[in-house]
Amino acid sequence: QLRASGIPVERIWRLDMRPRNDRRKSCYFKLERILSIHYENFTIAEVHDDDVEVLNAVHKYIPYTRLFLHTDEHVIELFRSRLW
């Protein structure tokens, strides 16, 4: 599916999927996974999501990460911050 959508799968380092028995709201699962990568001392350059609640939560913890909101028609960069 990823390749069919034009995503360069050879560049994907890690893909985390929610377990079937995880009934939390998606924003909690996504934030937990993103923060676990961050706390492993990896730099998270960008986060893309269709849920503004996820992006707001990421911004709270990792304010210099570039955040992109995907809608049916647009991709919008949120909270544009400068590192330097």
Question: 68: how many CB neighbours lie within 10 A of its CB?
Answer: 15
Per-residue pLDDT of the chain (84 residues; tens, 9 = 90+): 677 777 787 877 777 788 899 999 989 999 999 999 999 999 888 999 999 999 999 999 999 899 999 999 989 999 765 544
Structure tokens at 10: 């050879």
Give the strand pairing for 75-78 and 66-70. antiparallel
Q: What is the pTM for the complete model shown?
A: 0.75
d(CA 62, CA 81): 11
Contacts 24+ apart (CB under 8 A), 10-15: none
pLDDT reported for residue 84: 40
